[in-house]
Structure 1
């Protein structure tokens, strides 16, 4: 609550002018981009009580714009012919750029469109001058949707900053003419733009992704927050959609003892095996076969064990466990022995100490790209994602964060897996990723949530 008199008065006036969000029904809107042939349009269902600023977010998403320009609304005043009602953003009104306009964030949709057939104009990008006709096609009084839903549409939204309708017409003509002198440069500039591309499922995935960050945000001040806030939902909808499943603010109903046992079992075994005396390594620097055989026989590796030999090189899971413990600062090589560090020795005698070191030490890696890839892996675990979902989210997320191959090409699934390997290998070794074609276990989801909340 503001204490300054002027701010308090504005606050009270704002409350008084904002309509109550009651009596919501479903509005079916048809949104058509004016002046474009063939037509670009969407049919979308929204709550009638949505404010115009909320509808702006919906239109940006369903049309495919990037919300990088100003916008406003226009509607003919039915009671005063020749008069046009305007609705603008609060910042435009306060800066004096929208005299006489009403504020969109205190105007409900059902105050502007009331009867099927009513329409208004949504203008976006005052330079390019894109105008959309927003028509109220129908009302379903038995429904009140919690979220917007795209139900139909055709064709892709024009690229941002292409010059409005005239510029878009020229762009289409050049892209269709391979012999045009500007064909290659505009093809590259537009990112391989396909004017016919449209998918209802893709649009609704974007809607869900757009809402995920506000409805299911990461913990404020957590390290994952610093990564996610740099990833636009338009560029990585699958990453943001995972937020709705990851529950980073609310832990899943999983006993902490089960989470700790799942995360620490393999590490506990290794620290105890090394103990105060350490393990003398072979001349080649490997752990002797007796210890490898004991690990293979005494630990549950699920379907992750490869090979039945007793040498470390024949058991990659054991090798990754050793590497993970080293990267967590629990063990090290010293004078031909594998020994505990001070952290490892403390974790050996106090479970809580080991727990703190493990979840605080993830993700693993030295380079920023390795850490950011590791955060994305942990997000997929917290969301209970499948292997294919993990790969798709990682490719999207790393691209949105600006990572590319040294030659400038986009990262593929193999590249994403390679940069995330140090974290992913450790999680796989302790069983946190589940079977190859399955889902992470519940304890792993709880573990990833805890890691991502710090």
Structure 2
């Protein structure tokens, strides 16, 4: 197939192959990927070969149908295959994106290859860059090009086949295993595009967010709650009396080593900010499970409540993650959980964190590029928690190889599915 953007000269076009049984909802994702759009606006297909008395048939997205219902000339794009929309060489169908901006594309069927195994969608060639997402349609795009001609910030002649194919591969994987519909993470993901954050979307494809939890459920629950339950039970009754300096008592460190199998190097300095105990208390306070009152660490009403009902702590943790107040903390936290769900290594995690936050428009206060210290500060709460429970584990031998346990990946997947 060949797709060309209408009313734009010189032409912006792509040539690509797709299996004949691809439905139009998946073809929409492939078109977005090969062209370079960000899937930020509504779309529809318009047939030139099929029509009713009201005019040409239109194939529309399922969410539009569920919201507005069908019209006489409308059909669900997930119910129509490409070989039903175009049946012979030379046939074509129109793809309209962002109707207000009047971006219209024409898709021509150029060749049918028969008697061969189905191959994955692939971009075969093309020319020129996709216009910026909100450049205002063909007329606005011409004005945009004239206005920025001297800046060199946008190259209208740029087209990289490998980049387009990487986007197609990710698009196909996401169609096979998409984020859970109507989840907060799905809404978050709509703010980005494959082309603005390719590594992040590749991680989404690896994360298999629609997958199950099978035999890992009990392991996830124990891993996520064991240390917190120990602290909450230790604070039952009258609470934990702190030292004069406000630190946890030394005998609590010995108890933690015995009952939680902690490394002594992390628990000996019980009152120090780097100790495992201090991290545990900080996490519990962030989760609103404990607080300090007159030199004593006591349970909050929520802390007492989660101890009273089996499974309540687990549910509270899942629903509260990612920890952190404000848009920045929440967005950074979701990307962190994505890197865990995808099984990324430490170096890959850093790349995806920086890419994703930059694509969302976050930067340092002085406008410089984000670094490791920046994103780690943004996700300090959830990162402390995930390291504390052993869901994120440093690999001292090779930072390019993940050492995170499988139950941690499943836990992150569950957090992202809510």
Fold match, TM over 0.5? yes
Give 1:352 shift.
2.2
Counterpart-to-counterpart distance in 2, 1:355 and 1:318: 20
Q: Distance between the aligned counterparts of 2:160 and 2:13, measured in 1?
A: 10
Distance in 1 (alpha carbons) for counterparts of 2:243 and 2:255: 17
Q: How does 1:250-399 map to 2 (within 5 A)?
A: 250-296=211-257, 298-300=259-261, 309-313=268-272, 315-348=274-307, 351-399=310-358
**Post-superposition shift, 1:363?**
1.9
Note if contact 2:319-2:415 (Cα within 8 Å) is conserved in structure 1.
Answer: yes
C-alpha displacement of 1:409: 5.8
Superposed CA deviations along residues 36-71 of structure 1, whole A, max 9, x for unmatched, are 67x866442201244667545433321223465988
Q: TM-score, normalised by structure 1?
A: 0.67
The offset of 1:221, in angstroms, is: 5.1
Residue 143 of structure 1: aligned partner = 117
Q: CA deviation at 1:153?
A: 5.0
What SS does structure 2 have at the residue aligned with 1:136? coil
In 2: Cα distance, 1:104 partner to 1:453 partner: 25
| SS in structure 1 of the partner of residue 411 of structure 2 | helix
Cα distance in 2 for residues equivalent to 1:30 and 1:103 = 23
Tell me how far apart the structure 2 counterparts of residues 206 and 47 of structure 1 sit (CA, whole Å).
Answer: 17
Q: Shift of the alpha carbon at 1:155?
A: 5.5
Residue 355 and residue 52 in structure 1: after superposition, are their counterparts in 2 closer, same or farther (change >3 A)? closer
Compute the RMSD of aligned alpha carbons.
4.4
Residue 287 of structure 1 and its aligned partner are, at CA, apart by 1.7
**Number of aligned positions between the proteins:** 389
Report the CA distance between 1:335 and its aligned residue. 0.8
Give the 3 Å change call, closer, same or farther, for CA 140–166 of structure 1 in structure 2: farther
- The one-character-per-residue Cα deviations of 1:398-425 (angstroms, maximum 9, x if unpaired) are 3454544445666455433321111111
**Equivalent residue number for residue 46 of structure 1:** 18
Deviations 1:363-410 (A, max 9, x none): 212223212322332233233333334334433443454544445666
1:246 and 1:48, CA in 2 relative to 1: closer, same or farther beyond 3 A? same
Q: Which has the larger radius of gyration?
A: 1
What is the CA distance between 1:320 and its match in structure 2?
A: 1.6
* Residue in 2 that maps onto 1:80: none
Q: Partners in 2 of 1:53 and 1:354 — Cα distance?
A: 40
CA spacing shift, 1:260–1:102, aligned 2, 3 Å: closer
Q: Is the 8 A contact 1:74 1:87 kept in 2?
A: yes
Q: 1:400 to 1:87 in 2, by over 3 A?
A: farther
Residue 148 of structure 1 deviates from its aligned partner by: 2.0
Deviation track 1:115-140 (CA, whole Å, cap 9, x = no partner) reads 5xx57586878989887784625615
Classify the secondary structure of the residue corresponding to 1:144.
coil
Alignment of 1:198 onto 2:160: yes
- Cα distance in structure 2, aligned partners of 1:170 and 1:345: 60
CA distance, structure 2, for counterparts of residue 60 and residue 221 of structure 1:
21
Find the residue that maps to 2:292 and give its secondary structure.
strand
C-alpha distance in structure 2 between counterparts of 1:326 and 1:394, whole Å: 26
What do the CA deviations read for 1:240-266 (whole angstroms, capped 9, x no partner)?
A: 444444444442323432222211222
User: Measured at CA, do residues 369 and 206 of structure 1 come closer, stay the same or move farther in structure 2, by a change above 3 Å?
Assistant: same
Asked if the contact 1:209/1:238 (under 8 Å) is kept, the reply is no
Match of 1:114 in 2: 88
Question: Matches of 1:347 and 1:441 in 2, distance apart?
Answer: 26
Q: Give the structure 2 partner of residue 442 of structure 1.
A: 406
1:418 correspondence with 2:383 = no
Q: Distance in 1 between matches of 2:45 and 2:316?
A: 52
Secondary structure of 1:448's partner? Answer: helix
Structure 1 residues 326-354: Cα deviation after superposition (integer angstroms, max 9, x where no partner): 11122211111222233334445654233
| SS of the residue 1:47 aligns to | coil
CA 1:199 to 1:429, structure 2 compared with 1: closer, same or farther past 3 Å? farther
Give the Cα separation in 2 of the matches to 1:324 and 1:90.
49
Distance 1:120 1:173, change over 3 A: farther
Q: In the TM superposition, what whole-angstrom CA distance separates every residue of 1:259-297 from its partner, at most 9, and x where no partner exists?
A: 222112222232334343433223322223332354356
Change (3 A) 1:337 1:63: same
Task: Give the whole-Å Cα distance in 2 for the aligned partners of 1:260 and 1:349.
Answer: 16
Distance 2:43 2:217 in 1: 48
> Which consecutive residues of structure 1, in runs of 5 or more, have no partner in the other structure?
1-28, 77-85, 92-100, 176-182
Counterpart-to-counterpart distance in 1, 2:414 and 2:81? 41
For 1:358, what is the secondary structure of its paired residue? helix
Q: Answer whether contact 1:254 1:446 (CA < 8 A) is retained.
A: no
